[in-house]
Structure formats: structure tokens, C-alpha cells
Amino acid sequence: MIGTPILPEIRELIEQRNFSALQRLFDDWLPVDLAELISDLPENEQAILFRLLTKEAATETFEYLDFDAQQNLLNALTQKDVTHILNSMSADDRTALLEELPGPVAQELIKLLSFKEFKIAKTLLAYAEDSVGRLMSPDFLSVKKDWEIGKVLEYIRTHGHESETLNVIYAVDDHGKLVGEMLARDLLLSPLDKKVEEIIDEDKLITLTATQDQKDALEAFKRYDRVALPVVDSNGYLIGVVTVDDMLDVAEEEETEDIQKFGGIEALDEPYIDVPLLQLVRNRAVWLVVLFLGEMLTASAMAYFEDELAKAIVLATFIPLIISSGGNSGSQAATLIIRSLALGEITVRDWWAVMKREILSGLMLGSLLGLIGVFRVVFWATLLGHYTVMWLLLGITVGLSLLGIVLWGTLAGSMLPLLLKRLGIDPATSSAPFVATLVDVTGIVIYFSFASLLLKGVLL
Amino acid sequence: MIGTPILPEIRELIEQRNFSALQRLFDDWLPVDLAELISDLPENEQAILFRLLTKEAATETFEYLDFDAQQNLLNALTQKDVTHILNSMSADDRTALLEELPGPVAQELIKLLSFKEFKIAKTLLAYAEDSVGRLMSPDFLSVKKDWEIGKVLEYIRTHGHESETLNVIYAVDDHGKLVGEMLARDLLLSPLDKKVEEIIDEDKLITLTATQDQKDALEAFKRYDRVALPVVDSNGYLIGVVTVDDMLDVAEEEETEDIQKFGGIEALDEPYIDVPLLQLVRNRAVWLVVLFLGEMLTASAMAYFEDELAKAIVLATFIPLIISSGGNSGSQAATLIIRSLALGEITVRDWWAVMKREILSGLMLGSLLGLIGVFRVVFWATLLGHYTVMWLLLGITVGLSLLGIVLWGTLAGSMLPLLLKRLGIDPATSSAPFVATLVDVTGIVIYFSFASLLLKGVLL
């Protein structure tokens, strides 16, 4: 078991320039751990350590390096080393690197590729970002469907070294069209004289297309529990393969996007700490301004009730408490419904079932906060020694407003994502701040309506 | 490619009791699609269709059914069928089913298991929920490290049918201790006379333990790009294997938990629509009440400024606008930092780098909202025809307060997750509503401080 690299020991060996000891040590390390170590080193030491690796380990380690370290090494290594790495790294990782690099640099590097790899790189880069094409590897193994398993095994032994995965082998017909897949399991368990076509099941083949969204691929992997899925062109010819290890990364990216949206930010393309400051501010400003403009309505609503306010300043003191409770319960409801929609646990058609649940939840939560609210107002007044019927009525106003606002927040928070989904808009757009803003404005109206009703002639 | 089941056609065949046609149709379907169809049917029809499946398809389909359908079928099928399914389904799926069922029902079902499966089920159920033990399958294949590949292949062909995965084969020493793993790739590419010990690399073995959190397993799968990882006991003996397909589900569950926490809810154990209403309310009430109690401080803060309020009611009208802007910018910052921490993009040690970014972001965002705020107040007053210097000063008060509150919200939202992490508390606890509440209280103080300063002698 390899743990996190122990830097002090490594540091010492580097200071001593004891490269043979380092080399021996690195022999037992996994590429991902080597990559983490090298990424953590100062730039001028990265190349020194990287050169200690064997050719094979170097390519694999390079694939795991973070982008900054990759860029640094591309500058620091000899053209010969760079050429070797670029030609031997897997096509999908190379695509990811080339798309990150500035255009001219990428163009220079592509020139170092062999004719075969050059064609592959150009093809993959032509697919849209976030499309399946950017994840796929053209290094797969396909066999004819009339071969016997024995022949397939022999073929793999001689031609399989380049293949991205050997967990799945693809079967094609005489025209090269994909007709089925065999798992390593099938190959290892079948008698040697069985034919490929006896093993594959053409009807049960699941395929992707290169232009599909990576999200779709993730769904397919989740649904069908595969370790690899084939990518076909519009004529059904096999053009690449996507492996499940890339899917955990896609899942992570999707999650980040969802979470950022829900926090009320335009999703960032890069890690938080790497995004240029101005872009970071821009991605936040969009929603912040929209919400601010929406929230301006609270000022208008309050201006409308200025007379009531003037008569009873004490009313104003409870406004933040009341409207924030609506916002909080609305955020909760929106969170639950957005996530439930995303997981397919509910659909828009379930709106009535959801509404019933949320009305009941809202009533219970609202009553709870309402009671605490009444208690707060009455207890406070009693404590300060100026308890009167007016305070009781104020307490009831606050309590009923809380009930109404929490109920309304819960309903708005739960129905808004369903409505957005129905209109074809991403339900995650109804972020916590968005729902809170919506509920704030109506909350003020609800509060002052109860106040007018209950406190007329007493306070107002 | 199999799409979503076309219900109208199926419906017709069911109405016609045309079971042979259904059976032929189902032959071409994948278990996951069959499971979706059956789960969508009314309870009384589920068993009818399920009985049409071959024994093998039945078990696989059963594993994919949702819990309600599984429970229904366990009641509707004969004891013989139930016995067959329970004994042949994979151990990890069976564990998941048994842990969901009410205790007495699970006990009854466990009695139907063969002695071997009974022991397995008991062992797996003994591991804690959310531990690796609950995900692992004891059906793996291990070979001696001094065997030749040819012998290994022969062994697999005779003993491999029960194994959960054949993408990885484990190598053990003479005492049965795990010493290495071979990928299907290694088996398929190596010469037949090569020995297992020549292929495996003992130093590079990654292992899990059964008591580890499933989150750790997910991290290991992401980091090392594996399709399966071995689980060992404290003495290094192999006791099970976890496969990557389960990891996409773990990732989904973890994401749900994170999102719910961030929405200010205690994470739910079950899908939203299945959670009993009272539990749903309880999970929401906890945080809602905590936040409500915190938000009560706003009322106290405002009571403190009651004199100022009485003199200038107009001040009150901008309170929701101002404090909500702090809450929104705080939610944004918290979202970014919580996610960035979770992805390991930043650590607590980076607090100063984060703070610098957030101070600058906060200043820019605050200036933007502040300017809009000044414009709103002054424009409004001019529009209504009662523009005076007082309104200009009020506008400046609102603008400066917005700048201060947005800056403060941004700082609080970004530093709080880091502080919580430092204290060993899950940073996701600093949910959007939590940050908003924190900022609301201080926002009022900031606003009235600016007002006292700028409007003294004019309005106050």
C-alpha cells in the first residue's frame, strides 16, 4: 500500500543529489503517486526528478500530472523526450492536455506527433468540449465475429499491447460494423473452439456516439454497470472506446457544476484557485445583480407599508427574522426537489404528490417556528416588564406570519424547480439565493397583511 | 441499442395475455431495462411478468429492481423461486436488500439461504452501514503466486464462473496472504509459461479494509483508476473485492448528502419521495430551528437601533435588500470554497491565498451592487420628485453599506468553511442558509453604523 509521499526523506535525497537512491525508491511507486510528488515540487526540480523515471513510467506519470507541471515539463525536457511522451500517452489524456494549452503551443506540439498520432489528435480535438469524443480512445481491439476464441486470444497476445482496455473486446462483421462485445470474463471462461458470434448478443449492445454529451455517457455507465462502452459513428462503425475511470471524473465535474449553480454562481470551467480573478467575479456578478434587482422589490413593498411602519416601528424589527425563515425553508425544499429530479426519483408528473407532502411539511415546520416566534415576542415583552395585550397580538401576528411564510417558502421552493423543468429550463437554476429572494418579497406582503388585520386599532 | 421500454405495446400484450410474445420480446432486453419495466407496473402484474423470465435473467433483473418491487415479489413469488433468487444474487446486492427490509422479514429470508450463502450474508451484514464491507463481494478468484499463466487460465476456465469480476485476478502466497493482482490485460498478453510472481508487483498493490468508509474507497478508485480493489483483513488475507460499478452509486449518494447539507437539511437516508413525512420534517426542522434562533439576533440588533428607525422609517425599507445581498454573496463564496476543499483543490493552509482573492472579489462585487444601490435610491427619489441632499446621503449610506456587507459576506462565506475544516467539522455544515443567517445579523449592524455616521443631523 502506497501512502502519501513522505516529503522530508525525498527532500533530503534531492539535496544530497542522491539520484540512484531516488531512482530505486521510485521503482516501487505508482505513477499517480509520482505525479503528486512531482506536481508538489518547485518548478526547477520537477524536470530533474522526472528524468529519473523509466520511459514507460515517465509517460504514465506525465498523464497524471496537473496541468501546470505538464506545461513546465514540456518546456524543460528535450524535444526528444517531449516527442516520446506525446506519442506514447493515451489519446484521451493528450486531448485534454492539448485543449488546455494556448493555441500556438498546442500547434507546435502537434507537429511532434507521428503521422498516425497526428491524425488521431486532430480528429479528437475536432469534437466539442464536454462531448464523448473528447474522452474516447481510438486504441481498442476488434475481432471478426466468425473467429474462434482460441484465435481471438492469440490475436490479443500479439496486437493487444496498444489497446486502452482489454476488459472488453469488440466484435465486428465483415464490413467492419460493430456487432457485439465480449468481456474479458467471456474470453477467459469460454471453450477455445467456441465462435465469437456464439458469445456476443447483438441485441444487447449499448453504444455511444462521439457527439453525445459526456453526461449521457455517465448515465449509460451508471445504468448498465459497464467498465467500457464503444463509440460508433452514424453508420455503426466502431471509432473509439470510453472507459469507466474517466466517468468518475465526469461525475465529479457534473457535481461541481450542479453545486455551483445551486450556490447561485455561473459554473466555473477551472478549479477555483486557478480561475482568473476577473472571470471569477464575472461568474458571481451575473446572479448577484439579478438577485439584487429582484430584491429591490422588497424596498418597494416596504415603502408601500411605510404608514404602518411609522405607526409601529416595532414591526420592522421582526422583518429579517420572518423573511429569512421563508428563505431558509424555501432553500431546503428547493434542494430536496432539485436533487430528487436529478436522480430521477420524481418527475414533473409527480407535482401533486410533491405538493401534498410540502403543504404538510410547510404547515408543520411553520407551526413550529410560529410557536417559537410567539413565545419569543411575548416572553421578551414580559421579561422587559412591559407586557400588554398589544404584545400578545404582536406575538400572534409574528407567529401567523411565520406559519404563512414558511408554508409559502416551502411551496415556492418545491414547485419552482418543477415549473422550470416543465419549461425546459435546468431546475438547478432555482438556486438557494434565488428562492430566498423570491420568498423575501412575498414575505413582506404576508407579514404586513397579517399586521394590518390583527393590529388595526391597537398598534396601527 | 436498447431505449426506454415502450409501454403501450407491452400494455397491449399484457392485456391480451400474450405471454409467449412477451417472453420472446424480453429475451432481447437487458436486465436493467426489464427491471425498470417491472418496477413501473402495478404490483399485481409485477409477478406475472417476472415469472416469464429465465432463471438467470430473473436473478439479474431482481438485483436491479427498486426496493418496493423487490419486496412485492418476495411476497408474490413461491418460496422455491425466492430461495433460488436469494441464493444466486450477488452478495453485495443481497446485503443491500436485507438491510432495507424490516428485521423479522430479513430473518425469515436469511433462513432460506444455503449454509454457505447464510454465512456470507451474516458476515456482510455485520459490517457498519456505509462501510466497504457492505459493498464487497466474497466471490473472487485467487491463484498461487508460483503458478504459470497457462495454469491460471485453466483454473479460471473451471472455477471462474462464480467470481464477481474477472477483470482482476488476485495472487496469494503459500499462507493465503494477498501479494499482488493481475489484470485481465496481463493474463491476455503474457506468455503462457510466465509465472504469476513475474507479473505482479507487490509494492504497487492498493488494498481496502472492510471497516473503511465507502468514501475512502471512492477516493482510492478515483485516484488509482481501477476497475476493482481487493479488501483485506488486518492480517493481509483477502476477504472480498469491491468493483467500480458500485462506486458510481457511492459517488451519487455522497453528492446527494453534500447537496442536502449545503441546502441546510440533515441528509436523508432514502429518496425524497419515500422518506416518511415525519422524518422528512424532522430532518428539516433541526437546522430551520437553529437558524431561526440565530436569526432572532436580527430582531435584537434592530431593537437596539429602534431610535434611529423611529426617526427615519425610510431606513427600514432598505434592510431586506441590504442584508440579502450579504447573504447571497456569502452563499456564493461558501459554495466555491466548500467544493474546492472537497475536491482537494485547496487546503486549509491556503487560507491566505483564498482570503486575498475573496477580499478583491468582495470589493469588486460590493462596489457593483453599491453603485446600483446608490442609483436606485437617488433615481427613485428624483422620479418621485422629492429629491433632496438627504436622499443623496441616504443613497451613499445604502451604497457603502452594500459594499461593506458584500465584502463581509464574501469573507465570512469563504473563511467559515476553512475554519470548520480546521476544527475538524465538515465544511459543508456552513450551508447557504447558515452563512446567510450569520451575515444578516452583522449586516444590520453595518448598515446602521453607516447610517449613524452619515445621516446624523440630517435624518437622525
Instruction: Name the minimum distance, in Å, from the CA of B304 to any CA of chain A.
Output: 9
d(CA A164, CA B72): 43
- Say yes or no: B116 and B183 in one domain: no
Q: Is the pLDDT of residue B76 over 80?
A: yes
Which of B161, B185, B353 minimises the CB distance to A273?
A: B353
pLDDT of residue B398: 93
Exposure string over B105-136, b if 16+ CB within 10 A, otherwise e: ebeebbebbeeebeebbebbbebeebbbbbbb
Assess if residue B136 is contained within a domain.
no
Query: A69 with A32, same domain?
Result: yes
Q: Residue A129: left if φ>0, alpha if ψ -120 to 50, beta else—which one?
A: beta
In a domain, B435, yes or no: yes
User: CA of A197: how far to CAs of A146, A170, B26, in Å?
Assistant: 6, 11, 20
Give a yes or no: residue B269 inside a domain: no
Q: Do B317 and A332 touch (CB under 8 A)?
A: no
Q: Are B183 and B199 in contact (CB under 8 A)?
A: no
Q: In the structure, how many helices (H) and strands (E) does chain A have?
A: 22, 6
Residues A205 and A241 in one domain: yes
Predicted local distance difference test score (pLDDT) of residue A459: 66
Cβ-contact B184, B163 below 8 angstroms: no
CATH number reported for the structural domain that contains residue B58 in this entry = 1.25.60.10
Among chain A residues, the shortest Cα distance to B253 is held by A343
Residue contacts between A and B (CB atoms, under 8 Å): 387
Q: Which of A56, A216, A321, A439 to mutate to test the interface with B (most CBs of B within 10 A)?
A: A321
Residues of chain B in contact with residue A378, where contact means CB-CB under 8 angstroms, are none
Residue numbers in B near A245 (CB within 8 A): 225-227, 244
pLDDT exceeds 60 at position B45: yes
Q: How many whole angstroms from its chain centre is CA B64?
A: 20
Identity of the residue numbered A138? P
Partners of A76 in beta bridges: none
Task: Nearest chain A residue to B355 by CA: give it.
Answer: A273
> In this structure, are A310 and A241 located in the same domain?
no
Q: Which of B76, B95, B126 is the last residue of a domain?
A: B126
Does residue B38 share a domain with residue B90? yes
CB contact under 8 A, A1 and B205: yes
Is the Cβ–Cβ distance between B257 and B218 less than 8 Å?
no
pLDDT digit string (tens) for B306-345? 888 888 888 888 999 999 999 999 999 999 999 899 888 8
Does residue B1 register a pLDDT over 50? no
In B, which residues are within 8 Å of A30 by CB distance?
204, 206, 224
Give residue-wise pLDDT tens across range B236-287. Answer: 899 999 998 888 888 888 888 888 888 888 888 888 888 889 999 998 998 8
Do A80 and A20 lie in one domain? The reply is yes
Question: Which of B126, B157, B180 delimits the end of a domain?
Answer: B126
Chain B residues in contact with A165 (beta carbon < 8 A): 185
Mean pLDDT, rounded, for B49-61: 89
Identify the CATH number of the domain in which residue B302 sits. 1.10.357.20
Cell 487546503, residue located:
B347
Q: How far is A387 from chain B (nearest CA, A)?
A: 16
In this prediction, the residues of chain A whose per-residue pLDDT falls under 70 are: 1-6, 459-460
User: Number of folded domains in chain B?
Assistant: 3
What is the C-alpha separation between B38 and B62, in angstroms, rounded?
10
Say yes or no: B307 and B430 in one domain: yes
Is A1 among the domain residues?
no
Domain boundary among A126, A154, A186: A126
Residues 6+ positions from A195 with CB-CB distance below 8 Å: A145, A146, A147, A148, A149
User: Looking at the structure, do residues B302 and B377 belong to the same domain, yes or no?
Assistant: yes
Q: What chain B residue is nearest to A257 in terms of C-alpha separation? A: B339
Is residue A340 assigned to a domain? yes
Whether A259 is in a domain gets the answer no
Q: For residue B459, what pLDDT is reported?
A: 67
Residue B92 within a domain: yes
- The answer to whether residue B109 sits within a structural domain is yes
The percentage of residues in chain B with a pLDDT greater than 70, rounded to a whole number, is 98
Instruction: Output the domain CATH number for residue A158.
Output: 3.10.580.10
Average pLDDT, chain B: 88
Residue entry with cell 441590504: B322
The answer to whether residues A297 and A217 belong to one domain is: no
Each residue of B358-408: pLDDT tens digit?
999 999 999 999 999 999 888 878 887 777 778 888 899 999 999 999 999
Q: Which of A328, A358, A361 to mutate to test the interface with B (most CBs of B within 10 A)?
A: A328
CA–CA dist A222, A250 (Å, integer): 12
Are residues A291 and B318, on separate chains, in Cβ contact within 8 Å? no
A289:B157 CB<8 A: no
Do residues A98 and A217 both lie within one domain?
Answer: no
**B426 and B315 share one domain:** yes
Q: State the Cα–Cα distance between residues B49 and B42, nearest whole angstrom.
A: 11
Question: Which of B272, B373, B376 comes nearest A346 by C-beta?
Answer: B272
φ, ψ dihedrals at A42, nearest 5°? -65, 150
Q: Is the pLDDT of residue B357 over 90?
A: yes
On chain B, the residues whose CB falls within 8 A of the CB of A399 are none
* Cβ neighbours of A194 in B, within 8 Å: none
Among chain A residues, CA nearest to B255: A255
CB B254 within 8 A of CB B159: no
CB spacing of A30 vs B273 below 8 angstroms: no
Mutation site, B93, B151, B292, interface A, largest A CB count within 10 A: B292
Identify whether residues B111 and B171 lie together within a single domain: no
Three-state DSSP at A171 gives strand
Q: In this complex, do A317 and B302 lie within 8 Å of one another by their Cβ atoms?
A: yes
Q: What is the DSSP letter of B229?
A: E
CA pseudo-torsion sign B65, B242, A198, A229: positive
Q: What strands lie across the sheet with A168-172, from one edge to the other?
A: A142-144, A168-172, A178-183
Is B256 close to A291, i.e. CB distance below 8 A?
A: no
Contact B437, B291 (CB under 8 A): yes
Q: For the complex shown, is ipTM > 0.85?
A: no
Domain that holds residue B238: 142-244
pLDDT computed for residue A3 by the predictor: 39
| Best of A209, A216, A311, A339 to mutate (most B CBs within 10 Å, chain B) | A339
